[in-house]
């Protein structure tokens, strides 16, 4: 790869950093790779209520139908969270950044008990 291509890639990622569920998942798995435990909390999830005005913006971020659902007219995104989320500085903001979700797209953000058995 030429230096120009490396520079172009650097500028591209600075201007448009990777984002979306796959990037979010990879980031937290990489962070936990040196530990001898699964990267994900087994009891909690991050629950985001997405404004209907911004639901189309989520399509490019590649969330599964399992994670993104419409329930009683409300768009809910649920994603697993790292096991050490409570030790991380500003975990919710970091998660939004990694997921590629802007704060104005959401009407609520919370940590909920997981109801899922897909671990």
Is the pLDDT reported for residue 119 higher than 60?
A: no
Name the strand (E) or helix (H) holding 47: strand 40-50
Domain range for 67: 19-113
**Residue-level pLDDT at 10:** 54
**Residue-level pLDDT at 2:** 46
Is the pLDDT reported for residue 20 higher than 60?
A: yes
Is the pLDDT reported for residue 3 higher than 70?
A: no
In total, how many domains does the chain have?
1
Residue matched to tokens 């500003």: 90
Alpha helices (runs of H) in the chain, residue ranges in sequence order: 3-15, 21-32, 91-99
pTM of the model: 0.79
In a domain, 92, yes or no: yes
**Range from 8-22, 28-42, 57-71, 104-118 carrying the lowest mean pLDDT:** 8-22
The pLDDT of 107-118, averaged and rounded, is 83
In a domain, 35, yes or no: yes
Assign 5 a pLDDT band (cuts: 50, 70, 90). low
Rounded-to-integer distance, Cα 79 and Cα 43, Å: 12
Q: What is the dihedral of CA 15, 103, 106, 26, to 10 degrees?
A: 50
Other CB atoms within 10 Å distance of the CB of residue 94: 16
Is the pLDDT reported for residue 65 higher than 50?
A: yes
């Amino acid at each position: 790869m030429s230096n120009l291509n490396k520079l172009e890639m650097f500028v591209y990622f600075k201007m448009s950093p990777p984002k979306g569920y796959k990037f979010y998942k990879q980031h937290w798995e990489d962070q936990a790779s040196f530990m001898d435990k699964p990267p994900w909390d087994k009891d909690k999830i991050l629950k985001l209520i997405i404004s209907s005005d911004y639901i189309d913006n989520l399509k490019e971020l590649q969330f599964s139908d399992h994670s993104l659902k419409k329930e009683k007219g409300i768009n809910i995104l649920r994603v697993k969270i790292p096991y050490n989320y409570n030790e991380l500085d500003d975990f919710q903001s970091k998660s939004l950044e990694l997921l590629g979700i802007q704060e104005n797209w959401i009407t609520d953000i919370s940590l909920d008990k997981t109801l899922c058995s897909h671990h």
